[in-house]
Amino acid sequence: MPRKETTITSLKDVELTHFHSGGRACSREKIYVSGGIPGERVEIVSQRGKGFRSGTPVNILRASGDRILPFCVHANICGGCPWQHMRYEAQLVWKRDILRRALDKYTIQIPPEGLPETVPSPLEKGYRNRVEYTFEAGKGGEMNIMGFHQPGDLSSVFDCKECFLLPEGMHKMALEIKETALEKEIPFYRFEDRSGLLRNLTLRCTTTGDLAVIAGFTRNEPSSILPFFEILTSRFPGVSSWAYTVWDPHSTSRYYAPDFCHYTGKTYLEERSGTLRFQYGLSSFYQPNPVQATVIFNHILKQAEGFITETDPVYDLYTGVGTIALTLADKFKKTAITGIEGNPEAVGDAINNASLNNVPGTQFVEGDILKTFTHSYIARNGSPSLILLDPPRNGTLTEIKKTILAAQPAGIIYLSCNPVSLAWDLKQLTENGYRLTAVRPFDMFPHTHHVETLAVCRKES
């Protein structure tokens, strides 16, 4: 069958009506427009391919009252915060609308009190606790740059001059690390032939003051790496952890895990949420907006009060480093709370955090959720009063939902970073004896289309 060709046409006077779940403004004709705002009429250069049309405005015929000037010089080429052309208050409104449309698509009945407004992030800028830069040597080696990939293009990098998503001083430090690499003549990675040594740089920070620097190399070459790190540690004494990874430059796997090497300093980061302390490894996951994460944890705590008993256990699926499980365990000290997680390093962190916060009654189990959280597991450990789950972006598997339904908990609390997969999962739950009693959107990522949602289901009597 001949391959479909992409055709480019000029379309005038396109009216945008809403945001698609992927973050682009959309017209009634289902033309997806990057950089548009619903309510605008725009002239675009459109591409037709893969069954839909997409485009970018070349002329705004009627601008939205919510349109503002982007605050970053990279706004047109960076995918990190593509909604910065829109007032923050409007971002919150449209995130709620994206959630509403997802629930409507799968006919999920919203509670009688309606869908609340999106809870704003306490910080609109400087909220991210993690960043990963990519290095690239230009053709012929005439230009060495450090920055980010453009949306949809993993084969090139633009040179990043500023980034407002990071806490103050982090991007400046990254630029100074880049200059140090140039001084030491560390060859940057080259995409065209996969040569070079320095591939990426990850910076991680916490609200408690911890700061980790993790450089990524294509091979373990101590004669170059160790002198480089020796200079860096002397120039940046405030960094608490130093490490590096070794990548296979020929691996094309999206989920490839590099070898991890600790150089000096602490082997963990520490974050606080309320009165609790959470320590986690340099490669472990923690919510990227930790201040907003604490707000969400407190909302979960309030919702859980209506379900938790002293006699029935609570299961926290995809528990990670134990943040939600330990938040509950700190208050409901007589309730048996078990967290289940497939990442062994995260489970080790969770066990350590239980000891760190003096909540020894909490149990953490390592294992794939599908294989661990089974009917036999429930038979051995008891039917729960509450099940919590915070799954990956694509939601949870049908078989896991079947096990949840078989466990018959009084309540299910679901934290989701994807409204579409959340709505699909809620469909199975609400068609099998559960009713959505509360749902609340939270803004975890200002200036993006991403929205975090807390949904609560109660078993029908």
pLDDT at 15 over 70: yes
Q: Residue 412's closest CA among 460, 373, 444, 374?
A: 460
pLDDT band at residue 292 under the 50/70/90 scheme = very high
Residue with token string 């099940």: 387
Q: Are residues 429 and 320 in the same domain?
A: yes
Q: Which residue type does 310 have?
A: E
CATH of the domain at 260: 2.40.50.1070
Are 385 and 305 contained in the same domain?
A: yes
Q: Are 362 and 446 contained in the same domain? A: yes
Single residue among 226, 241, 272 that ends a domain in this structure: 272
| Number of structural domains found in the chain | 3
pLDDT at 182 over 50: yes
Taking alpha carbons only, the member of 409, 407, 457 closest to residue 429 is 457
Whether the predicted pLDDT of 218 surpasses 80: yes
7-36: average pLDDT: 86
Q: Give the count of beta carbons closer than 10 Å to the beta carbon of residue 18.
A: 15
> pLDDT by residue (tens digit) across 28-43?
988 899 999 999 999 9
pLDDT in the model for residue 2 = 43
pLDDT band at 256 (very low <50, low <70, confident <90, very high): low
Q: How confident is the model at residue 461 (pLDDT cuts 50, 70, 90)?
A: confident
Longest CA–CA separation in the chain, Å = 71
Report whether pLDDT(52) > 80. Answer: no
Do 281 and 301 touch, CB atoms closer than 8 A?
no
| Residues spanned by the domain of 29 | 7-67
The share of the chain scoring above pLDDT 90, in percent, equals 84
What does pLDDT average to over the chain? 93
Confidence class for position 49, pLDDT limits 50, 70, 90: low
Which tokens in the block code for residue 163? 């980034």
Residue 94 lies in a domain: no
- Do 135 and 254 lie in one domain? The reply is yes
Note the pLDDT of residue 1.
Answer: 38
Residue 372, domain member (yes or no): yes
The dihedral of CA 21, 23, 26, 32: what is its sign? negative
Percent of the residues in the chain that have a pLDDT greater than 70, as a whole number: 94
Structural domain includes residue 277: no
Look at residue 152 in the predicted model and tell me its pLDDT: 77
Mean pLDDT of 329-355: 96
Q: Which of 26, 163, 417, 457 is catalytic?
A: 417
Please report which confidence band the pLDDT of residue 323 belongs to, taking 50, 70 and 90 as the band edges: very high
Q: Per the domain annotation, does 396 fall within a domain?
A: yes
CATH code of the domain in which 396 resides: 3.40.50.150
How far is residue 136 from each of residues 152, 172, 282, 286, measured CA to CA in Å?
17, 18, 24, 28
Q: What is the mean pLDDT of residues 320-324?
A: 98
Q: Are 408 and 90 in contact (CB under 8 A)?
A: no
Final residue of a structural domain among 225, 248, 272: 272
- Give pLDDT tens digits for 62-85: 999 999 999 999 998 998 999 999
Q: How confident is the model at residue 252 (pLDDT cuts 50, 70, 90)?
A: low
Measure the CA–CA gap between 117 and 94, rounded to whole angstroms: 10
Specify if 95 maps to a domain: no
**Cβ contact 328:354 at 8 Å:** no
Q: Measure Cα distances from 205 to 124, 229, 244, 252, 265 in Å.
A: 17, 19, 16, 29, 14
**CATH code assigned at 36:** 2.40.50.140
Whether residue 220 is found in the same domain as residue 327: no
Q: Does any domain span residue 146?
A: yes
Q: Are residues 228 and 338 in the same domain?
A: no
Residue 226 has pLDDT above 90, yes or no: yes
Q: Please tell me the predicted confidence (pLDDT) of residue 51.
A: 62
Question: 308 and 405 share a domain?
Answer: yes
Q: Which of 272, 305, 340 is a domain's end point?
A: 272
Q: Which residue has the higher pLDDT, 451 or 52?
A: 451
Q: Is 78 a catalytic residue?
A: no
What is residue 414's DSSP assignment? E
Answer yes or no: do 222 and 260 share one domain.
Answer: yes
Q: What is the model's pLDDT at position 191?
A: 85
Residue 186, domain member (yes or no): yes
Instruction: Report pLDDT for 76.
Output: 87
pLDDT tens digits, one per residue of 362-421: 999 999 999 999 999 999 999 999 999 999 999 999 999 999 999 999 999 999 999 999
Task: Establish if 1 belongs to a structural domain.
Answer: no
State phi, psi for 361 to the nearest 5 degrees.
-75, -15
Residues 109 and 236 in one domain: no
pLDDT of residue 73: 95
Is the pLDDT score of 5 beyond 60? no
| The pLDDT of residue 117 | 98
Query: Quick one: pLDDT at residue 45?
Result: 82
- Burial bucket for residue 138 (CB in 10 Å: 0-12, 13-18, 19+): middle
What are the strands, taking DSSP E only, across 195-313? Answer: 198-205, 211-217, 241-246, 259-265, 268-273, 276-281
What tokens does 304 get?
Answer: 């859980």
Asked if residue 356 and residue 258 are part of one domain, the reply reads no
Q: Report the helix count and the strand count for the chain, using DSSP H and E.
A: 10, 21
Judge if 140 and 115 occupy the same domain.
no
| Same domain (yes/no): 178, 214 | yes
Confidence (pTM): 0.93
